[in-house]
Amino acid sequence: MPYAFLTPAIVLFVVFCIVPIGYSVYMSLRKAQVKGLGLRPGDRTEVFAGTRNYANALKDPELIHSVLRVLGYGLIVVPMMLGLALLFALLLDGTRARLVRSARIAIFLPYAIPTVIASLMWGFLYLPSVSPIVDLLGGADLFAPSTVLYSIANVAVWGGTGFNMMVIYTSLRAIPSDLYEAARIDGASELRIAFRIKIPLIVPSLVMTAVFAIISTLQVVSEPMALKPLSNSIISTWSPLMKVYTDAFERGDLYSAAATSVLLAVATLVLSFGFLRLVGDRAFASEGGS
């Protein structure tokens, strides 16, 4: 009976996840071969290409530059977003917090706004001709090549902090209040309780939010894609996923796009599990030392 209940979900998972992944791997090992002028129906065929598409993708300077941009983007977004989420969660969980429900909704609300709409909203706030904040920043060009990375990162931090805050806040609410009462009886301040009790007990939630943030960073596409029409500093291959889209639907090279997407999936898997392994080993070492 349990398998009967699971069958619909398993079928959907196989059809819409496993099969597309398998087809992408298959396409990444193929290439188009054109005979003559390629005008007749039989002149264009698919042939086995081996790992040639992967080799070309790894040597593609556009992909390398997009990866470097995303790494810089991640170094800004992940620490800032998780730091703000932790700070807001600790403040809302404090004994002196007021209007917790309203503040929680206000912080979470940006996450409920679709990414494309949020990106367009921020994009118009960045435009000097219509923005009410550019003058406050001394007329800075927020779409300049030197600042566009921070502008895109700001959209991601603004939209993702609320979700991570809710995850961390839920974990804080699950901690038994007896621990806090015992610490206060011993004379511990709220700051000391936060660093010595709250944060150590919500490490699993912090790890989970960090993994989600790493995955979303490597797959960033909505923010730069939505802001691209507003700025010449955002090229069509700004991020790896934008490179995949450009290769597949603008250049018509589905085979290279498939190879790049597989490489991106493998990189996401390696970084996520590597981070989990690193954090798990440190947590085990600290428990053994204590």
Residue 118 has pLDDT above 60, yes or no: yes
39-66 residues labelled b (16+ CB within 10 A) or e (exposed):
eeeeeeeeeebeebbbebbeebebbeeb
Q: Alpha-carbon dihedral of residues 191, 196, 201, 206, nearest 10 degrees?
A: 60
Instruction: State both tokens at 130.
Output: 């219509």
Output the pLDDT for position 8. Answer: 94
* DSSP designation for 97: -
| Average pLDDT of the residues in 159-164 | 94
Instruction: Give 252-287 pLDDT, tens digit per residue.
Output: 899 999 999 999 999 999 988 888 887 765 554 554
What is the C-alpha separation between 279 and 285, in angstroms, rounded? 10
Q: Where are the domains of the chain?
A: 62-289
* Band (239; pLDDT cuts 50, 70, 90): very high
Judge whether 260 and 244 are in contact, CB under 8 Å.
yes
Dihedrals phi, psi of 45, to nearest 5 degrees? -130, 165
**Which class would CATH give 62-289?**
mainly alpha
* Residue indicated by tokens 């990444």: 28
Contact 218, 73 (CB under 8 A): no
